[in-house]
Amino acid sequence: MARPFRFAVQSFSAPDAVTWRERARRAEALGYSTLHLADHFLGPGPALAATHHPLQELAAVPAMAVAAEATTTLRVGCRVFCNDYRHPVLLAKEAATLDLLSEGRLELGLGAGWLRAEYEAAGMRFDPAGLRIERLAESVSLLKALFADAPVEHAGDHYRVSGFRGAPRPRQRPHPPLMIGGGGRRVLELAAREADIVSLNFDNRAGVLGPDGVGRSTAERTAAKIRWVREAAGARFSALELEIGAYFTFVTDAPGPIAAGMGKAFGLSADEMMRHPHALFGSCDALCEELARRREQYGISYVTVSDLVFDAFAPVVARLAGT
């Protein structure tokens, strides 16, 4: 049986506190399940420009706290925390506090980190992907231990922690839903084994946003990613929730020219762009049909759209959320 649809908004900017609270309340009123932020700290300048990534104005943790305080049912999350930016002991403390004070509305998203220029701008070493994913895997294990009730004794290759219990206890037990995101095989296999939510992203091995990552995330490539997840998850696959970011979403009665133009920019045909799992082009009716088709094909039931389109996309949410 297919999982019910749910939808999230991912927000990158807010000029002031009033606007941010209003955005959270608006997302809740429109039926979105979750408000996500990203975890990037670069301000405007040549380092950010080189990444082709949008500016993330707000720091994730305080913004999530304010959004939770401004709403009553909206879940909050970061899609996704970069593991290398925080020691897991610190992240566990912040996550448990957020979950406790929001009365169990946190979704904890984790990733291995990928934006090379951000590491370099902050003077951080950008290790090979395999090493970053190893650290992430160890961090996941440590986080779960810190959310449990027993004293933590952990001596791994990357972290050493001993002599205390994690505190506070998160409201959701055994821990907040864990989302692990990425686009490469190793990180998706980790997500399949350890996460509650598998977040499908571009394969950003180039360290920047661009045609390479988009091209490695086509319909055919996404089908392969689902196979990796299914094989690695084994018997737990049916319990996983599959999420994807629909980064290129256009609610329109004339999708053809837009898809063709975007496809040309990324080296894809118009048809490839129309079928791209990270893109949605069409009217409300067409988008509902396409999302139902993708759920049937891939098992994806959790879709995140940008706050730039969350009002335009709201009729889709109204029709499909919970079905």
pLDDT in tens, the chain (323 residues): 789 999 999 998 887 889 999 999 999 999 999 999 999 988 899 988 888 888 888 999 999 999 999 999 999 999 999 999 999 999 999 999 999 999 999 999 999 998 999 999 999 999 999 999 999 999 999 999 999 999 999 999 999 999 999 999 999 999 999 999 999 999 999 999 999 999 999 887 766 667 778 888 999 999 999 999 999 999 999 999 999 999 999 999 999 999 999 999 999 999 999 999 999 999 999 999 999 999 999 999 999 999 999 999 999 999 999 99
> Domains in the chain, please, with CATH?
6-320 (3.20.20.30)
d(CA 205, CA 212): 8
Helices within the chain (DSSP H only): 17-29, 46-51, 60-70, 88-101, 116-121, 129-147, 185-194, 211-215, 219-233, 255-266, 270-274, 284-298, 314-320
Q: Which amino acid is at 97?
A: T
DSSP secondary structure of 187-211: HHHHHHHH-SEEEE----TTSSSSH
Answer for the pair 6, 319: CB distance below 8 angstroms, yes or no: no
pLDDT at site 208: 61
Residue 35: name the closest of 45, 53, 23, 47 by CA. 23
pLDDT at site 111: 97
pLDDT at site 202: 85
d(CA 248, CA 259): 9
d(CA 238, CA 301): 12
d(CA 172, CA 240): 17
